[in-house]
Chain A
C-alpha cells in the first residue's frame, strides 16, 4: 500500500541518547505536556465541550423564543429565582444566555478547535516538523485559554448574572450594566493573550521548521490558511485587548473612555456635561464609538479566523476524495493572502448605522465588496476541483461537500449587509444572524466535523464508524438548515435580534412569528443529532477499526508518520519531493503519489 522509505537520517526529534533517559510521569505526559499533539487534542476536546455548552445555552434561548413566557420544561427549576423564577426565563437571563452563547462559541469553541486543535495537531506534521518552534509557549497558550474559560464559566454564578450586553459588549450599556461584565473582560484578556502566544508560535514554526524540499508553494493549503489566520490573530487582537483594558477602567476605576457626557440611565445622571467628574458622577467626555472601532478592528478579522482554517480543512479533504489535485492552487494561495490583508480594512461595515458620513461609508462599502472577490475565488476553486472527479463519499467528504453550498449561502447573504443602503433595513435583524450562522454553523462547524472524521485515524490509529458518521451528517444537515434558513425570512420582515420574546411585542412580526417554533424544534433536533457524533467519537477511540499510517491514501506529509505519531513525529527525516496534491498522475501505478515518496511508484 504505502511505502515509506526508511533510509535517510534519523529525524530531528529522535536523535539518539540524551534527553529521553527518563520516562515522563502522568502529569507531564498528558496534562502539562509540551508535545503539540497532546496540546492539540487538549484544545480540540476542550473546544468541543465548549461548543456543546454554548449550543445548550442556545437551546434554552430557543425555548423562550418559541414559547415566550412558558416555564422551561424539566430543568426550569435549576436556574434560581434571579434567572428564571418558576422556570420562566427573565429578560436579563435571556440576555446573559445570548451574550455568553456568542462569546463561548466564537472564543472558547470554534477558534480553539479550529486553530488550537487542528492547527496544533496537524500543521507541524504537515510541514514535517518534530514539534512547534516554542513547545513550552504552546503549553502556556493552552493553559491560559483554559483559565479564560474557567473565568467565563464562573461568571454565570456572579451576583447579577454573567455579562449580558451581547458578545459585542457595546458601551455604554456594558459599562453601566450590573452583570459580571468585568469577569467577561478579564476572561477576554486571558483568551486574547492565549491567542497571541499561539500565533507567534504558528508563524515561527511555519517559516522556520518546514522540512527539506517543502517550499512555500508546495505547502498544503491547510498550512497557508493557518499561516494567514495567525497573522490576523497577531495583529488584530491587541487593539481589543487594549479596548478591554479601557472598558475595565471604565467599570472598575470610574473612567469615561467610552462614557459620553450627559448620560442619563433610569432617570439618574451618570456622567457630567462638563467632562470633569463630580462626586459620585463620572466625568463623561468619552466616545462610545471608540469601543465599536476597537472591537470591530479585531472582530472583523476574527470572522476570517473562523472561516480560513475551515477552508483549509475542506481543501485537504476535497483533494483527497476527488483523487485530483486542487484546481487553482496558486489562485487559492494568492486569494487567501489577499483576503487576510483586506480583512483589516473593512471593519466599519458593522457600523453603518452609527451616523457615519457618506465618504467613510463609501470607503468601507468599497473595501467590503473587494474582499468578497477572494472569497469567491476560493469557493470557485474548491467547486472546480469537483469537476471531472471520481468522488469518494467518505464521511469527511460528506461534510466537506456540504460546506461548499452552505458557505455560498452565507457569503452571498453578506452582500446586502456590506452595502449601506440595504444594510439600513437589515442591520440588527434576524437576517444578520442567519447570514453569520450560515457561514459559521453549516459552514465552519461542518468543516470542523469533517476534520475530526478525517484526522481521527492519525491521532488515534482507529477509524470512526461510517454508518454513525452518515447518520450524524444527514440529520445535522437537515436540522441546521431548518434552524437558520427561516432567519432570512424573519429578518426581511423586520424582526429585530436580541429580543427575549422572539419579537412578539411588535405587530410587524406577527406574520413570521411561527418560524420561531419551527426553529425551536429544529434546534432541539440538531442537538439530538450530535449524539451520533458523541457516541461515535468515544466508541471509536476504544473499538474503532484499526488503521495503518495512511488509511485515506493521502499525499501530504502527516500521513507518512505512524498513527498515532510518537514524540518527535517522524521516524526518519521527512523530505518533500513534490507538490502536495499529486493525485492521479498519468502513468503512475497508483492513483496518488505522496509528497514524501522519492520516486513515482
Chain B
C-alpha cells in the first residue's frame, strides 16, 4: 500500500527533490526566454519544459504514478477531449472560405 506510514516517510525525500527540480526548471524556462527563438521554436521549448514540470507534479505530488485504473481512464478521456478542444476550433477557423479581415497593425505611441 503506497500510503502507509513507512512508504510515505520514504517518499519525503522524493517530494523535496522534485520540488527543487521544479524550481530549476522554472529558472530554465525564464533563461530560455532570453534566447529569442523564432515563435514556433519558442512555443515548442516552452511547452516541452512545462509538460516536463507538469508531469513531475502529476506523477509524484498527485500520486499518479501509482493510481488506480478508474482514475487513469477518466483522465485519459479528459486528455483526449482537451486535445480536441485545443486543436479542432483552431483548424476550423484556419480552414475557412471567403475574404478575411484582420485587425490592422498600428503605429506605436498613441497614434490613431
Q: Which of B78, B81, B96, B102 contacts A356 (CB 8 A)?
A: B96
CB of B92 within 8 A of CB of A293, answer yes
Closest residue of chain A to B93, judged by CB? Answer: A289
Q: How far is the CA of A108 from the CA of B45 in the complex (A)?
A: 46
Per-residue CB proximity of B64-88 to A under 8 Å, as 1/0?
0000001000000110010011001
Q: How far is the CA of A77 from the CA of B112 in the complex (A)?
A: 51
Q: At the interface, yes or no: B106 with Cβ under 8 Å from chain A?
A: yes
Q: How far is the CB of B43 from chain A (nearest CB, A)?
A: 20
Q: At the interface, yes or no: B101 with Cβ under 8 Å from chain A?
A: yes
Q: How far is the CB of B112 from chain A (nearest CB, A)?
A: 6
Q: At the interface, yes or no: A278 with Cβ under 8 Å from chain B?
A: yes
Q: At the interface, yes or no: B40 with Cβ under 8 Å from chain A?
A: no
Q: At the interface, yes or no: A529 with Cβ under 8 Å from chain B?
A: no
CB of B93 within 8 A of CB of A348, answer no
> Which residues of A have CB within 8 Å of B98?
355
Q: At the interface, yes or no: A49 with Cβ under 8 Å from chain B?
A: no
> Which residues of A have CB within 8 Å of B92?
289, 293, 348, 351, 356, 360
Q: Given A276-B112, A289-B93, A356-B96, are A239 and B85 also a contact pair (CB < 8 Å)?
A: yes
Q: How far is the CA of A235 from the CA of B85 in the complex (A)?
A: 11
Q: Given A287-B93, A355-B96, A360-B92, are A275 and B77 also a contact pair (CB < 8 Å)?
A: no
CB of A284 within 8 A of CB of B70, answer no
Closest residue of chain A to B107, judged by CB? Answer: A274
Q: At the interface, yes or no: B6 with Cβ under 8 Å from chain A?
A: no
Q: At the interface, yes or no: B91 with Cβ under 8 Å from chain A?
A: yes
Please tell me the size bucket of the interface on B. 20 to 34
CB of A235 within 8 A of CB of B89, answer no
CB of B101 within 8 A of CB of A275, answer no
Q: Which of B70, B81, B88, B105 contacts A235 (CB 8 A)?
A: B81
> Which residues of B have CB within 8 Å of A262?
101
CB of B103 within 8 A of CB of A359, answer no
Q: At the interface, yes or no: B97 with Cβ under 8 Å from chain A?
A: yes
Restricting to A267-318, which residues have a CB under 8 Å from any CB of B? Answer: 272-276, 278, 284-285, 287, 289-290, 293-294, 297
Q: At the interface, yes or no: A261 with Cβ under 8 Å from chain B?
A: yes
Q: How far is the CB of B106 from chain A (nearest CB, A)?
A: 4
Q: How far is the CA of A356 from the CA of B96 in the complex (A)?
A: 5
CB of A275 within 8 A of CB of B104, answer yes
Q: At the interface, yes or no: A381 with Cβ under 8 Å from chain B?
A: no
CB of A290 within 8 A of CB of B89, answer yes
Q: At the interface, yes or no: B4 with Cβ under 8 Å from chain A?
A: no
CB of A231 within 8 A of CB of B103, answer no
CB of B77 within 8 A of CB of A345, answer no
Q: How far is the CA of A287 from the CA of B106 in the complex (A)?
A: 19
CB of B85 within 8 A of CB of A357, answer no
CB of B84 within 8 A of CB of A355, answer no
Q: At the interface, yes or no: A344 with Cβ under 8 Å from chain B?
A: yes
Q: At the interface, yes or no: A531 with Cβ under 8 Å from chain B?
A: no
CB of B84 within 8 A of CB of A360, answer no
> Which residues of A have CB within 8 Å of B96?
355-357
> Which residues of A have CB within 8 Å of B81?
235-236, 344
Closest residue of chain B to A272, judged by CB? Answer: B112
Q: At the interface, yes or no: A207 with Cβ under 8 Å from chain B?
A: yes
A-B contact pairs, 28 of them (CB 8 A): A235-B77, A235-B81, A261-B104, A262-B101, A273-B103, A273-B104, A274-B104, A274-B106, A274-B112, A275-B104, A276-B112, A287-B93, A289-B93, A290-B89, A293-B89, A294-B89, A297-B85, A345-B88, A348-B88, A348-B92, A355-B98, A356-B92, A357-B95, A358-B97, A359-B95, A360-B88, A360-B91, A360-B92
Q: Which residues of A are interface residues toward B (Cβ below 8 A)?
A: 207, 231, 235-236, 239, 260-262, 272-276, 278, 284-285, 287, 289-290, 293-294, 297, 344-345, 348, 351, 355-360
Q: Which residues of B are interface residues toward A (Cβ below 8 A)?
A: 70, 77-78, 81, 84-85, 88-89, 91-93, 95-98, 101-106, 112
